[in-house]
């Protein structure tokens, strides 16, 4: 558990390592820096958006930065792009300014962080379920199927991104499948962020019939063990309200909230 006195220091380290000095998360992706922003841009199948804004951003510069981001991404032809807003970002009314510029807020998530060394790594699974890492295109197809069954959303972007990571940077990516026989019942990912102390947990969606049996916790433990073996200090999650209580019981600490503000091009 992170002590209160370490909270601000860890949040500052997260802002510095994961946001201000963000690295591209895919082979077709680039990170661009301006005086006030850091953004990631790639293809339409990649995540595109703002990951960091200057902590001394004032109202006038904020409006100018928002307008410039909209114009830049429109010029690139993106169907949508995101401004990832954290609750401590400035100015305090940045969310309202994004809203006024046409961005739409999605559900807030909780930024959770835990020291890897303090997390359980014992994997306990229900009878008939086993975990395996994602290694090839067939496994990616199973991961995409698990994602669609768990979340009810299209998985084409996920499939594109996972295939690219396996092809171009497998040492900094881990995909995990939970299989009940030949059927995928859950899947998850871990990004091992290069030259940082952080590894990020993503996914973890479980097919409805298999929920409540400990698969989500097993996926956390499985990835925590890998992160520990690779020398990472912290695991980070942007948690929904469904997963937040489970993660906090496992030892994760909330550092604040983050809200995706999404700009979608008019059709």
* Residue 197 vs residues 194, 232, 251: alpha-carbon distances, Å: 8, 5, 18
Distance CA 177, CA 246 (A): 20
Indicate whether 24 and 100 sit together in one domain. yes
Indicate whether 155 and 235 sit together in one domain. yes
Indicate whether 124 and 236 sit together in one domain. yes
Indicate whether 158 and 100 sit together in one domain. no
Indicate whether 59 and 184 sit together in one domain. no
CB atoms within 10 A of CB 249: 9
3-state secondary structure at position 240: coil
For position 25, what pLDDT does the model report? 86
Indicate whether 24 and 136 sit together in one domain. no
How many domains is the chain built from? Answer: 2
Residue 267 has pLDDT above 80, yes or no: no
Indicate whether 140 and 249 sit together in one domain. yes
Strand partners, 32: 39
Indicate whether 72 and 97 sit together in one domain. yes
Rounded to 5°, the CA angle 26-248-174 comes to 25
Indicate whether 85 and 142 sit together in one domain. no
pLDDT (tens digit per residue) in 190-210: 999 999 999 999 999 999 999
Distance CA 176, CA 187 (A): 6
Query: What CATH number should be reported for the domain holding residue 125?
Result: 3.40.630.30
- Among 171, 176, 194, 199, which residue's Cα sits nearest to residue 186? 176
What is the residue range of 89's domain?
Answer: 4-110+258-264
| Per-residue confidence band for 266, with pLDDT thresholds at 50, 70 and 90 | confident
């Amino acid at each position: 558990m992170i002590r209160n006195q370490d909270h601000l220091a860890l949040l500052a380290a997260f802002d510095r390592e994961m946001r201000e000095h963000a690295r591209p998360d895919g082979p077709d992706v680039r990170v661009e820096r301006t005086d006030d922003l850091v953004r990631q841009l790639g293809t339409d199948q990649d995540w595109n958006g703002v990951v960091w804004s200057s902590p001394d951003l004032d109202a006038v510069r904020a409006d100018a930065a928002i307008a410039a981001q909209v114009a830049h991404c429109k010029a690139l032809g993106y169907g949508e792009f995101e401004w990832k807003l954290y609750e401590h970002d400035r100015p305090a009314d940045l969310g309202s300014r994004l809203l006024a510029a046409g961005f739409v807020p999605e559900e807030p998530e909780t930024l959770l962080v835990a020291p890897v060394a303090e997390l359980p790594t014992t994997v306990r699974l229900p009878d008939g379920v086993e975990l395996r890492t994602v290694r090839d295109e067939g496994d990616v197809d199973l991961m995409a199927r698990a994602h669609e069954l768990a979340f009810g959303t299209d998985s084409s972007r996920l499939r594109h991104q996972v295939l690219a990571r396996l092809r171009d940077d497998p040492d900094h990516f881990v995909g995990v499948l939970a299989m009940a026989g030949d059927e995928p019942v859950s899947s998850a990912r871990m990004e091992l962020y290069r030259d940082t102390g952080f590894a990020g947990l993503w996914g973890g969606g479980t097919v409805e019939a298999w929920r409540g049996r400990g698969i989500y916790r097993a996926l956390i433990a499985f990835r925590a063990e890998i992160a520990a073996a690779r020398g990472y200090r912290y695991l980070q999650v942007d948690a929904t309200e469904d997963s937040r209580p489970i993660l906090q019981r496992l030892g994760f600490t909330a550092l604040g909230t983050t809200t995706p503000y999404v700009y979608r091009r008019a059709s």
